[in-house]
Amino acid sequence: MNGLTAFLEKYFVPVAAKIGSQKHLVALRDAFISTMPITMAGSIAVLLNVFFRDFPTEWGWTGFVAAMDPLIGINGYVYNGTLAIVSIIFAFSLGYNISKSYDVDRLAGGLVSLAAFMMNLAVTVDLETVKSAIGAANASFDVNTLPKEFSGIYGFFSLAQVNGTGLFTAMIFGFLATIIYAKLMQAKITIKMPEAVPPAVSKAFAAIIPALVALYVCGIIVWGFTKLTGMDVITWISNTIQEPLLAMSQGYGAVFLVTLLVQVLWFFGIHGPNVLAPVLESLWGTAQLQNISAAQEGASLPFQWVRGSFDAYVWMGGSGGTLVLVIALLVFSKRADARTVAKLSLGPGIFNINEPIMFGLPIVLNTIYLIPFIIAPLVMVTVAYFATALGLVGPVIAAVPWVMPPLFNSFIATGGDWVAPVISLINLVIGFVIWTPFVLTANRVGPPEEEMKA
């Protein structure tokens, strides 16, 4: 065990630490985090409509649905201004955070990233496509009655490209445009204004050349790509890159691996979810956004395992399912120091804050607790993954604050699926069973409580 710990500490931890501090990955992580108020508002709107519209409709409560129509409409507007355009919001957030990492004008960087993403949107609508889409619903519509100059309508874009589908394009062009802008700003390739000019005006003029170059580089790429392929960039990236990666994320192996890496990182005192946030949010976070959008539209859910699934079923009390460790310590520990730490950690643990137990017990670099800290989450994620895959519990359809206590978290995240808290409870019991033998072992390693008092 000591040999394995030494090996990981020598070869694995330095690499993980560098990844966790790499400024571009930090910017990507912070960009996702910054959109949380927006995604949370949209998720709440979707969740409320589940209870105001979807469930009552299934139960035949038409009168209730009619009475809730104003609230359903308001929730729809909130969704349209949040999750329906989340790629636009993310594009600005990413540019802002990349500019922050380069210490250049953040507002201008956010706008450059946003503009670079927007130029990728398909801005024409083929009326034959419109006809096939709405012809069945509106038999009187006849595209052939329109003049030839209306063969393509300019100035429209598809909402399907600015929800979660456009996130990967926003990442690629956000990085490209903002890094070019930031590098030119740092190289002082700017318009310099006299000192008498107000700072706000001077900053705006200074960003003109870097922004112009960055956006024209992106514009050339988009124009060339569209001419060569006959396809808009967002659709191509979605079909060629995003969808295969998202499909890969739904495999048990990918879910198992990321859970394992989070635990190993945390064992060495490195915040696993933060280090792996670019992966967690880019893949499973994007899948969650698409699930939320599908739930709003009443469509079938495209993904079974999303970002919120980890919080709902695995990281209860924090990474490692440490809430059950706290309970096991309170029940079985005979060490005064461990019991004191457990008492102090219980409150935060209920809200999934586990730093007190991680560093107070400690679990970090404590070989006694290495095995349960890794094994318990792997067993828990296995149970939850296959329960979801087999249809025993519905997928997550709502973003829930990570501080939401266990059981409540899974119930709300799945839109009120009563089986979800049952799965969470089963996992808590499993975690308790796995942690308990090691708590009993720890009693023999340190002085018992009676000797401490003496």
> pLDDT tens for residues 45-72?
888 888 898 888 878 888 998 999 999 9
Q: What is the mean pLDDT of residues 384-413?
A: 93
**Quick one: 404 and 313 in the same domain?**
yes
Identify the H or E element spanning 315. none
Q: Residue 442: its pLDDT value, please?
A: 87
Tokens standing for residue 25: 């990955």
**Quick one: 312 and 220 in the same domain?**
no
Task: Render the burial of 110-138: b for 16+ CB within 10 Å, e for the rest.
Answer: bbbbbbbbbbbbbeebebeeebeeeeeee
Domain count, the chain: 3
Instruction: Kindly report, residue by residue over 365-387, the tens digit of the pLDDT.
Output: 888 888 899 999 999 999 999 99
**Share of the chain residues as helix, strand and coil, in percent rounded to the nearest 5:** 75, 0, 25
Q: What is the mean pLDDT of the chain?
A: 86
This model's pTM is above 0.85: no
C-beta of residue 174 within 8 angstroms of C-beta of residue 109: no
Q: Residue 157: its pLDDT value, please?
A: 63
**Quick one: 195 and 277 in the same domain?**
no
Domain that holds residue 171: 23-122+155-240
Helix 86-102, helix 106-118: angle, nearest 10: 140
Backbone dihedral angles phi then psi of residue 313, each to the nearest 5 degrees: -120, -20
Interacting residues of 379 by C-beta distance below 8 A, sequence separation 6+: 430, 431, 434
- The number of angstroms, rounded, from the C-alpha of 390 to the middle of its chain's C-alpha atoms is 24
Residue 433 lies in a domain: yes
Instruction: Kindly report, residue by residue over 125-165, the tens digit of the pLDDT.
Output: 555 555 555 554 554 555 455 555 444 544 556 677 888 88
**Quick one: 118 and 142 in the same domain?**
no
**Quick one: 288 and 432 in the same domain?**
yes
**Quick one: 229 and 129 in the same domain?**
no
Backbone dihedral angles phi then psi of residue 257, each to the nearest 5 degrees: -65, -45
C-beta of residue 214 within 8 angstroms of C-beta of residue 184: yes
**Quick one: 309 and 411 in the same domain?**
yes
Residue 6 lies in a domain: no
- Write down the residue that tokens 């393509």 correspond to: 152
Residue 18 lies in a domain: no
Q: Residue 5: its pLDDT value, please?
A: 60
- The number of angstroms, rounded, from the C-alpha of 438 to the middle of its chain's C-alpha atoms is 33
Residue 8 lies in a domain: no
How far apart, in Å, are the Cα atoms of 47 and each of 10, 43, 50, 56, 392? 46, 6, 5, 13, 20
Residue 86 lies in a domain: yes
